[in-house]
């Protein structure tokens, strides 16, 4: 059989990510590939770094994009900050907290779990109890925006608490970055990772990360080697760190980085505050439309993520059949429930470029048609 070129259908992506990528970003990715040590490319990488510093609201020097998806950014934070024997408090209120635990254990650390119900925010009182009970803990990790449930936790308060008990913090902002307020320096977040394909609306495969001086100091003070050669920040920074002397570490995904650059330029053009407000406004529109159909949200209003709307599947409705009809009849993707919420909820993403009024109307009318 002669296999021919692949031409994907045009879908509207309103699931948990990837979100719709704008033509501007796709066009940027089709520009000529440069050598990854070419001065023109290095100049662009420096711009990616400053655009990421803006998007994260940080001055951290150690800010760059890991050449792999969000899960690799997660692993990069854990692998570099944990040494065997470290005790780490992990707050879990959905799927991604469970992955944090996996990371801690695989790095030779011991995870102390602080559990909250799926769909709830992380409870600061429970974190404080765990910090009191485990004075030897060195790190606290939590997810700012739990994509599996649509709940947002109070990152500022959780980081403050961790610092009160002399712990560093690792914060997952894969879904929150550029979608909901986030101030890395003001909140004192020590290590943070995100993803390119959620509210940044770039294609999947890159993970923005940032580390403050305290985190960098803990990494330099390590007495053991980082278990992952690829993610060892001491080596990666020889490449991203710059000052004109970039050493070969791995071949950067050149055209993907053009895409991220363009997506970040678009965030800067719009302005972060405007992007946050747009995500909030479109969420409210979606809420009006869905509630008018009698559909209920799963998360309490004060903890709801505007970019990830978890809604209860109405009684007697066939979850998979409806999602399949939306995909095939409307070219519309929405997300299924995960883990404890599988079969119980749909997850409607309004992320980045996909967070617009046209998509809100389209999603509500399509759902009405198939229900």
Residues of this chain that interact with ligand PLP (CB under 6 A) are 17, 69-71, 74, 96, 143, 147, 172, 174-175, 195, 204
Q: How far apart are CA 213 and CA 96, in angstroms?
A: 26
- Sequence-distant contacts of 178-181: CB under 8 A, at least 24 apart: 178/55, 178/267, 178/272, 178/275, 178/276, 178/352, 179/145, 179/275, 179/276, 179/279, 179/305, 179/306, 179/307, 179/351, 179/352, 179/355, 180/145, 180/152, 180/276, 180/279, 180/305, 180/306, 180/307, 181/276
Least separation in angstroms between residue 154's CB and ligand PLP is 16
Question: Among residues 17 and 109, whose Cβ is nearest to ligand PLP?
Answer: 17
CB of 145 to ligand PLP, least distance (A): 6
User: Nearest to residue 304, comparing CAs of 177, 119, 146, 151?
Assistant: 151
Decide: 166 and 139 in contact? Cβ < 8 Å: no
Residue 168 CB, shortest distance to ligand PLP, in Å, is: 19
Distance CA 26, CA 213 (A): 35
Instruction: CB nearer to ligand PLP: give 60 or 147.
Output: 147
| CB-nearer residue toward ligand PLP: 42 or 82 | 82
Q: Which residue's CB is nearer to ligand PLP, number 89 or number 141?
A: 141
Question: Smallest Cα–Cα separation from 29: which of 240, 252, 261?
Answer: 261
Rounded CA gap, 267 and 362, in Å? 24
Q: How far apart are CA 94 and CA 199, in angstroms?
A: 19
Q: How far apart are CA 79 and CA 251, in angstroms?
A: 21
**Closest CB to ligand PLP belongs to which residue?**
70
- Edge-to-edge strand ranges of the sheet holding 12-14: 12-14, 332-336, 345-349, 308-312
Q: Which is nearer to ligand PLP, 57 or 71 (CB)?
A: 71
CB 212 to ligand PLP: min, Å: 20
Smaller CB separation from ligand PLP, 58 or 103:
103
Least distance to ligand PLP, CB of residue 35, Å? 27
Q: For residues 343 and 313, what is the distance between their CA atoms, to the nearest angstrom?
A: 8
Nearer to ligand PLP by Cβ, of 94 and 109: the residue is: 94
Cβ proximity of 210 and 52 under 8 Å? yes
Token digits for 234?
Answer: 């001491």
CB of 95 to ligand PLP, least distance (A): 8
Q: Which is nearer to ligand PLP, 204 or 289 (CB)?
A: 204
Closer Cβ to ligand PLP, 175 or 366, answer by number? 175
């Amino acid at each position: 059989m002669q296999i021919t070129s692949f031409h994907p259908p045009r879908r509207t992506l309103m699931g948990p990510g990837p979100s719709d990528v704008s033509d501007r970003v796709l066009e940027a990715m089709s520009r000529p590939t440069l050598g990854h040590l070419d001065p023109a490319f290095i100049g662009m990488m420096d711009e990616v770094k400053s655009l990421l510093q803006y998007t994260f609201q940080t001055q951290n020097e150690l800010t760059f994009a890991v050449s792999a998806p969000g899960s690799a950014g997660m692993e990069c934070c854990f692998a570099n900050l944990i040494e065997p024997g470290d005790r780490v408090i992990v707050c879990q209120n959905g799927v991604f907290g469970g992955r944090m635990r996996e990371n801690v254990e695989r790095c030779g650390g011991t995870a102390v779990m602080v559990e909250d119900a799926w769909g709830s925010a992380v409870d600061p009182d429970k974190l404080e109890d765990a910090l009191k009970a485990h004075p030897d803990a060195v790190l606290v990790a939590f997810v700012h925006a739990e994509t599996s449930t649509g709940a947002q936790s109070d990152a500022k308060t959780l980081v403050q608490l961790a610092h009160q008990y002399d712990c560093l913090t690792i914060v997952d902002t894969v879904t929150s970055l550029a979608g909901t307020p986030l101030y890395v320096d003001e909140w004192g977040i020590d290590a943070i990772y995100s993803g390119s394909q959620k509210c940044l609306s770039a294609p999947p495969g890159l993970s923005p990360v940032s580390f403050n001086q305290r985190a960098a100091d803990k990494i330099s003070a390590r007495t053991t080697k980082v278990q992952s050669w690829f993610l060892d920040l001491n080596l990666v920074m020889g490449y991203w760190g710059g000052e004109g002397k970039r050493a070969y570490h791995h071949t950067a995904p050149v055209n993907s980085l053009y895409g991220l650059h363009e997506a970040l330029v678009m965030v800067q053009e719009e302005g972060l505050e405007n992007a946050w407000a747009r995500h909030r406004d479109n969420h409210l529109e979606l809420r009006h439309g869905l509630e008018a159909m009698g559909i209920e949200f799963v998360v309490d209003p004060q903890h709801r993520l505007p970019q990830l709307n978890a809604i209860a599947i109405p009684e007697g409705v066939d979850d998979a059949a409806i999602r399949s009809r939306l995909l095939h009849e409307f070219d519309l993707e929405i997300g299924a429930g995960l883990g404890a919420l599988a079969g119980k909820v749909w997850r409607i993403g309004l992320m980045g470029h996909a967070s617009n009024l046209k998509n809100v109307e389209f999603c509500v009318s399509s759902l009405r048609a198939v229900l």
